[in-house]
Chain A
Amino acid sequence: MNARFLPLVGFGLVAALLAFGIHYMRNNSMNEVPSPLIGKAAPAFDLPLLNDPGKRLSNADLAGKPYLLNVFASWCFACRDEHPILMSEGRKLGIPIIGFNYKDEAADATRWLQQFGDPYSVVIADRDGRIAIDFGVYGAPESFLVDGKGIIRYKRIGAITPEILAFELKPRLAAMQGESP
């Protein structure tokens, strides 16, 4: 090979690397931290219900059936963006959606649900965020798809969009339901 072209080849390689970087950044949000919990059992929790703090909900209560755990808070703007799709599509998923109220005042969360609607089967409150740490939550909204064996199958960091619902959540749910329990 003619050595005169070496600088051009070098330039081409660098340009290709930068182009890949731009392409990659467009398709993959760098803010998303892949969760090490996928494929593992959901962390143990036993938390009071938002609307009835005397009652509690734990993993044991949910054993045997898949569910979607949706982390939300009244102080979270992106949760408001996500909310309409949970309201319109949530019920159609055919699995319970557990609201995980994250570091929120009970009164604020209750008012928020009254104002925008309540898509949840039940809402549990993690006032100090300790269980959220076990789930690796670092922002709201986040959603965890948990199967009948209590294994986390999928995690969405950020709002559930129609695309996420159609191309990520529903296929996984269908695959789960196809498995023998």
Chain B
Amino acid sequence: MSRARHFRGIFTALLALALLLPMLAQAIDALPFKDRAEEQRFQNLTRQLRCLVCQNESLADSSADLAKDLREEVFEQMKQGKSDIEIKQYLTARYGDFVLYNPPLRGGTALLWFGPLLVLLIGAGIVYRIVRRRAKVTPATPSAASSEEDW
């Protein structure tokens, strides 16, 4: 009985810890947002930007020193009334397209954007050819016996 209570105590403590952790993550750096909308715009923008130091994290999630500086820079520029596009241009001028999780569409990135479609079309072409060839080889109405065999 006491053992069960003991475990329940541990469980409660772990649950409390698990619930508290996201709060810690939220408090990476407390920026003075004037309202919820501004904070959401900031979160939305920094999620689209890549941290240069730990390259698989967004600027919003990273705890790297440079990411913190860049978050402050983004926040400053938002305060100055710059648009999201202007802020992105500011960063790409310094760090290249790499900072954007969404690569821009231009000559050099055309393959990136349309490559999958191209592969899909090639695949569809191959399937079409195979299906047509099979349709020629197999009789249009298979006999009852062979269709039973297949099933």
The chain A residues found within 8 Å of chain B, CB to CB, are 30-31, 33-37, 103, 128-130, 133-136, 138-139
Contact = CB atoms under 8 A, between A and B. Distances in A.
B109 interface: no
Contacts, number: 39
Given A138-B52, A139-B53, A36 B92 contact: yes
A36 B69 contact: no
Contact of B96 (A30, A33, A135, A139): A33
B38 interface: no
A37 B52 CA distance: 16
Contact of B73 (A34, A103, A133): A133
Interface of B: 52-53, 55, 65-66, 69-70, 73, 92-96, 98
A34 B65 contact: no
Contact of A103 (B65, B70, B92, B93): B65
B52 A129 contact: no
Contacts of B98: 33-34
A33 B92 contact: no
B96 A133 contact: no
B118 to A, nearest CB: 15
A98 to B, nearest CB: 19
Given A103-B65, A138-B66, A133 B94 contact: yes
Contacts of A128: 69
A135 to B, nearest CB: 7
A138 B94 CA distance: 10
A34 B94 CA distance: 10
The secondary-structure label for the interface of chain B is helix
A130 B66 CA distance: 10
18 contacts: A30-B55, A33-B52, A33-B95, A33-B96, A36-B92, A103-B65, A129-B65, A130-B73, A133-B69, A133-B70, A133-B73, A133-B94, A135-B94, A136-B94, A138-B53, A138-B95, A139-B52, A139-B53
A35 B53 contact: no
B94 A134 contact: yes
Contacts of B53: 138-139
B95 A136 contact: yes
A3 to B, nearest CB: 9
A75 B96 CA distance: 26
Nearest to A134: B94
Tell me which of A128, A129, A135 has the highest count of chain B C-beta atoms within 10 A of its own C-beta: A129
Nearest to B97: A36
10 nearest A-B residue pairs (beta carbon): A138-B52, A136-B94, A36-B96, A33-B98, A136-B95, A129-B69, A138-B66, A138-B53, A33-B96, A34-B96
Contacts of B69: 128-130, 133
A75 B31 CA distance: 27
Given A129-B69, A133-B69, 16 more contacts: A31-B55, A33-B95, A33-B96, A34-B96, A34-B98, A36-B93, A36-B94, A103-B65, A133-B70, A133-B73, A133-B94, A135-B94, A136-B95, A136-B96, A138-B53, A138-B95
A36 B104 CA distance: 15
